[in-house]
Amino acid sequence: MLTAPQFSPDRLQAVLARIDAAAARAGRDPASVRLLAVSKQHPAAAVAAAAAAGQREFGENYVQEGVAKIAALGDQPLTWHFIGQLQSNKTREVAAHFQWVHTLDRERIATRLDAQRPHHAAPLEVLLQVKLDDEPGKGGAEPAELPRLAEFVAGLPRLRLRGLMCLPRPEEEESAQRLPFRRLRELLEDLNRRGHALDTLSMGMSADLEAAVLEGATLVRIGTAIFGPRD
């Protein structure tokens, strides 16, 4: 069951203030860090309230739920990111309805998204999900696979490769939180040295956004701190 709307403008402003403070610590322009509001398991009414407060980018983990919200809020100029694990039987809906995919980790899925992206739409913006540890149940390409996968995806005409994404194991200390984010940044820098022009690091959530911004995040994925806890 979806939760009742818990969004308030104060929640959103508090997250934006955290991003600004972390960017200041890093000596970065706060405008270089975009906020992705993760609205999974929260109703369209909560998304509409966040949009009314100025938020424009939203992330969904489940295809059917996300597509329903996109349809319900189709009259608003919002950008929708798919951030869940992507199965082959769901690629057509994702390619048709979302503007971004954060979890691309296989050539087969890339080929399907490319073939199924409507030709009237702009190319689908994609990130490669990187597996930085051995946590079971998490997707992602191994770091050693990235050069080949990036080259393959960059050659597909209906996809636009933008960068990398990770979902590291939770850590309490900021110093420990920073390590996988630093590794992801280094992997992106390596791909750019190989001839790519990647500009997006999707990393950091409600509990570790400061560590992510300190290590170069350009897109932080925040759910609970904006919308409150889920059922």
Handedness of CA 64, 135, 224, 209 (dihedral sign): negative
Position 4 pLDDT exceeds 50 = no
Average pLDDT score over residue span 160-165: 98
The model's confidence at residue 2, banded by pLDDT at 50, 70 and 90, is very low
pLDDT at 203 (0 to 100):
98
What value does the mean pLDDT of the chain take? 95
Q: Has residue 5 got a pLDDT over 80?
A: no
pLDDT digits (tens, 9 = 90+) for 12-32: 999 999 999 999 999 999 999
Give the model confidence (pLDDT) of 176-199 as tens digits.
999 999 999 999 999 999 999 999
Does position 98 have pLDDT exceeding 50, yes or no? yes
pLDDT band at 134 (very low <50, low <70, confident <90, very high): confident
H-only helix segments in the chain: 9-26, 44-52, 63-72, 91-97, 107-116, 146-154, 174-193, 209-214, 224-227
Residue ranges and CATH numbers for the domains of the chain are 9-227 (3.20.20.10)
Strands 34-38 and 200-202: unpaired
Task: Please tell me the predicted confidence (pLDDT) of residue 75.
Answer: 95
